[in-house]
């Protein structure tokens, strides 16, 4: 007996007429998905209502059947919202639970709802509807995260701090410029999610089990009802494709990787040995034994959760790598990692946005750190090049100046003019203008540079995009 005709017969299982003995309780528990896929109930009902409306439009079911289905689904939605809906393990998944309740409420009309579809294309549609909603939420939160970064960056567009390579002091930047690097990462993250959404937003419903249906359905009508941009054009691919889930998880893994990088910096900056920032108390915890401790638990946990999302990506890729066409039971394993990825991403973005707004910057500590690594050495080399010295010779001259400053236990701007001239006769009194932190910052006055004016311009461009 086919899945479709069995569903219409009202059996407890949509396929039970084929078997001579009931499924064991162990197999029920092992194969059931209802206790995690029930979160797609709203999407399942939305998809069913659009399908029913199409069936009525095509005269496959009657107008009264449609009215009964809509009435029953409205009641089921109310029961779910009120926490009164009884989910049954015997009914395996969200789809059969809702269908069984609908049939109880409206009789034969509920049995006719499954005409022209299969659970294969039904679940594929539900997942895409659910994921589309999650992507929209993540994109919105990425916007809020960028705005929070811009707000803090604007306050510190001219607050100097060391820029690092290899975790060694490299050149002066501003804290605002450093934060805007994460705005660029989040901007790319949002672009990836917007692009992935296009491929999520294609309708599988109508593919039925794997080969389409003999009923005169109108797939484009259902797509329009549900806000899909297009239909999946191959029925085999429609029910077995999980590329969209993998693509979303890959995009989410990159978002989490960026949050993890910022987490690492916040943790480092908050350490008393660095002391660049302090996090608001509400994002930290203490120690059960050391009363002085203030631990950056939120960024540490986000850093840890990144590994969890990366693991989900590998898990989904592995899930799909050996599957023949079309649908296989393996695909039931896509939901838990997908749900957890979306939950982790959304929760992390929400808390990070709030946490960024509560960062207190210790500007004096940032400036003091610039004195520890000869941060304006490159400025001195550029100064000599602009006066005609080949860059390699300028590089060597400045390296000797750095060695002298290191021996004296001072910074480059503290070296006397005559000492600097001993490394190159091209050095003049104006050299100290480029050796200051402010001079070094102002000299990078181009798009992407760390001059405070350019930082403010970058913030303005980011705000305009977000608007």
Structure tokens at 22: 């009931």
Please, which residues bridge with residue 160 across strands? 174
With CA atoms as reference, report the closest residue to 127 among 317, 331, 418, 354: 331
End-to-end CA distance of the chain: 56
Q: How far is CA 226 from the centre of its chain?
A: 24
CB-CB contact of 154 with 461 (8 Å): no
Catalytic residue among 166, 214, 288, 446: 166
Residue 295 token pair: 């631990």
166 counts as catalytic? yes
Cβ neighbours around 192 below 10 Å, total: 18
Q: Which of 5, 88, 271, 287 is catalytic?
A: 287
Peptide bond into 467 cis (omega under 30): no
Residue position matching structure tokens 């401790």:
293
CA distances from 279 to 255, 268, 352 (A): 21, 12, 11
Residues 6 or more apart whose CB falls under 8 angstroms from that of 381 comprise 391, 394, 395, 397, 398
Residue 357: CB atoms within 10 A of its CB come to 14
For residue 372, the surrounding DSSP H or E stretch is none
Residues catalogued as catalytic: 166, 287
């Amino acid at each position: 007996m086919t899945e479709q005709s069995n569903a219409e017969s009202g059996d407890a299982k949509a396929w039970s007429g084929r078997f001579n003995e009931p499924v064991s309780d162990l197999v029920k528990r092992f194969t059931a998905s209802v206790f995690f896929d029930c979160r797609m109930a709203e999407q399942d009902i939305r998809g069913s209502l659009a399908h029913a409306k199409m069936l009525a439009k095509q005269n496959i079911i009657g107008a009264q059947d449609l009215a009964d289905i809509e009435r029953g689904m409205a009641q089921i939605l109310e029961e779910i919202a009120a926490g009164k809906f009884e989910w049954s393990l015997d009914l395996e998944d969200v789809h059969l639970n809702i269908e069984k309740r609908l049939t109880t409420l409206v009789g034969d009309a509920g049995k006719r709802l499954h005409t022209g579809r299969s659970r294969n294309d039904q679940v594929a549609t539900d997942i895409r509807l659910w994921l589309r909603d999650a992507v929209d939420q993540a994109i919105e939160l990425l916007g809020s995260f960028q705005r929070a970064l811009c707000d803090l960056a604007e306050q510190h567009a001219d607050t100097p701090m060391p820029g690092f390579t290899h975790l060694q002091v490299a050149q002066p930047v501003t804290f605002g410029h450093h934060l805007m690097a994460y705005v660029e990462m989040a901007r790319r993250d949002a672009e990836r999610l917007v692009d992935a959404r296009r491929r999520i937003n294609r309708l599988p419903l109508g593919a039925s089990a794997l080969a389409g249906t003999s009923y005169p359905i109108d797939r484009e009508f259902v797509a329009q009802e549900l806000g899909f941009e297009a239909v999946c054009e191959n029925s085999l691919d429609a029910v077995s494709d999980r590329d969209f889930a993998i693509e979303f998880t890959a995009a989410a893994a990159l978002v989490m990787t960026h949050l993890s990088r910022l987490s690492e910096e916040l943790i480092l900056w908050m350490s008393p040995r660095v002391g660049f920032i302090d996090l608001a108390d509400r994002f930290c915890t203490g120690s059960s034994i050391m009363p002085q401790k203030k631990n950056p638990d939120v960024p540490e946990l986000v850093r840890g959760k990144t590994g969890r999302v990366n693991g989900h990506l590998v898990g989904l890729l592995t899930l799909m790598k050996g599957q023949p066409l079309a649908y296989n039971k393996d695909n039931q394993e896509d939901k838990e990692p997908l749900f957890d990825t979306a939950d982790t991403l959304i929760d992390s973005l929400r808390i990070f946005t709030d946490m960024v707004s509560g960062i207190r910057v210790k500007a004096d500590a940032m400036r003091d750190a610039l004195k520890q690594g000869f941060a304006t050495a490159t400025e001195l080399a550029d100064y000599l090049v602009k006066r005609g010295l080949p860059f390699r010779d300028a590089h060597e001259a400045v390296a000797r100046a750095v060695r002298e400053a290191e021996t004296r236990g001072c910074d480059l701007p503290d070296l006397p003019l005559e000492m600097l001239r001993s490394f190159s006769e091209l050095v003049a009194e104006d050299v100290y203008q480029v050796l200051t932190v402010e001079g070094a910052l102002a000299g990078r006055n181009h798009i992407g540079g760390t001059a405070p004016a350019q930082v403010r311009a970058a913030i303005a461009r980011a705000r305009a995009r977000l608007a």
